[in-house]
Structure 1
Amino acid sequence: MSFKIIVIGTSLGGLSALKKILINLPTDFLTPIAIVQHRHKDSGKTLQELLQEYTLLPIREVEDKEKILPGQIYLAPPDYHLLIEPDYFALSTDEPVSYARPSIDVLFESAADIYAEQVIGVILTGANEDGKQGLKKVKARGGITIVQEPTTAESSIMPKAAISAVAVDWIVSLSELAPLLVNLCHSIRK
């Protein structure tokens, strides 16, 4: 069995955390990655441009009904919830969840609903509790759950909330995260 998608949620401190992960992913990394980074609704494409400097894998902001393709990194656009449908993304302007739109919970719960045990959910640094419900659902549906070691997070609130809510599979530092994802996704493919 292979993984259909990796979902990553982060907030405060997320940019530097994401850079450290992306720079260590190989160019043949095929599992698509969808990222919710809490940011201001007027932030434009800067996040995409900043992160693209750290990886050769293509990074794009999701457009509604966009097909999920291998080897791509997808960003939730500012002020839209990002949802997973079978083989494509959907965008929503529903009410904020945990004061956030995009909400990590919304992405993770929709991924778990569609792909069940074929999802890897990752919670990184952040200053609120968004993501813990979504990670709980990923775990309940048989997916893999990974949380950044709180002592290594710029803001430990989000990782601590996830760890308190879910019996997570791995708690790792940022330097261990990319190798773990590669190992999980590549070892199953062989």
Structure 2
Amino acid sequence: MTAHQPFEATAEDAYVVVAVASSAGGIHALSVLLGDLGEDLPVPVLVVQHLDPRHRTVIADVLARRTELQVKLAEEGERVLPGTVYVAPPDRHLLVGSDGVLALSNSALVHFVRPSADLLFESMAGAYGPQAIACVLTGTGVDGAMGVDAVKTRGGTVIAQDPQTAEFKSMPEAALGTGAVDFVLPLEEIAAVIRGLVETKRQ
């Protein structure tokens, strides 16, 4: 545990949301991570996976077969629920407000991508501050780096897949380059750390 996230944190500081970003190689990485989170995760999970907007996506169906959590494409105006995974639809930015309500946006691409992990992470940092966990998995490009810096600045916790274990290293390396990452972990260890974080603060 890092110094700014002590074990003795009170229940009022409990984590309330996890956001995960991935790109190339992400379907496999998300399958492993979500599959290991179990069925009773006490927080919602928001996912940005870069997808080809020209094709109908089946990512929610694919991931739902690999996890006990409920998985769905995020919808405008819906309120997040614990134990549910919300995936950004193709070609739409996903944002979350302090009231737990999701918003979808077709505003400009960020670092050539939409959805953008940076925008999701930044909205989550603004809404939840130290109650947020951001996680960057395999991917090309630098999406997520600005966002994890925002999460860290607001007191949240940042996890990155160890680039040496990532199918594509660019996104986790960019996150590490910010100096904002609290945990650098092999893919297979990330779910246990997330569960440990969200459960410890509830005791």
| Structure 2 spans left out of the alignment, 5+ residues | 1-12
TM-score (norm 2): 0.91
Q: Does 1:112 align with 2:116?
A: no
Q: Does 1:136 align with 2:113?
A: no
Q: Distance in 2 between matches of 1:139 and 1:43?
A: 35
The structure 1 residue matched to 2:90, chosen from 78, 92, 99, is: 78
AA matched with 1:119: A
Query: How many angstroms does 1:6 deviate by?
Result: 0.3
Q: Does 1:17 align with 2:29?
A: yes
Q: Distance in 2 between matches of 1:45 and 1:56?
A: 20
Partner of 1:150: 163
Partner of 2:5: none
RMSD: 0.9
Query: How many angstroms does 1:112 deviate by?
Result: 0.3
Partner of 2:47: 35
Q: Distance in 2 between matches of 1:157 and 1:146?
A: 15
SS at match of 1:42: coil
Q: Distance in 1 between matches of 2:68 and 2:199?
A: 18
Query: How many angstroms does 1:28 deviate by?
Result: 1.1
Q: Distance in 2 between matches of 1:189 and 1:173?
A: 25
Q: Distance in 2 between matches of 1:166 and 1:111?
A: 19
Partner of 2:64: 52
Tell me how many residue pairs correspond in the alignment. 190
Work out whether residues 139 and 166 of structure 1, in 8 Å CA contact, stay in contact via their aligned partners in 2.
Answer: no
Q: Distance in 2 between matches of 1:72 and 1:156?
A: 28
The structure 2 residue matched to 1:94, chosen from 107, 123, 126, is: 107
Q: Distance in 2 between matches of 1:150 and 1:81?
A: 25
Q: Distance in 1 between matches of 2:93 and 2:73?
A: 12
TM-score (norm 1): 0.97
| Structure 1 spans left out of the alignment, 5+ residues | none
Q: Does 1:121 align with 2:134?
A: yes
Q: Which runs of 4+ in 1 moved over 6 A?
A: none
Query: How many angstroms does 1:68 deviate by?
Result: 1.1
SS at match of 2:86: strand
Deviations for 1:65-109, whole angstroms, at most 9, x for unmatched residues? 110111110000000000111211001000000100000100000
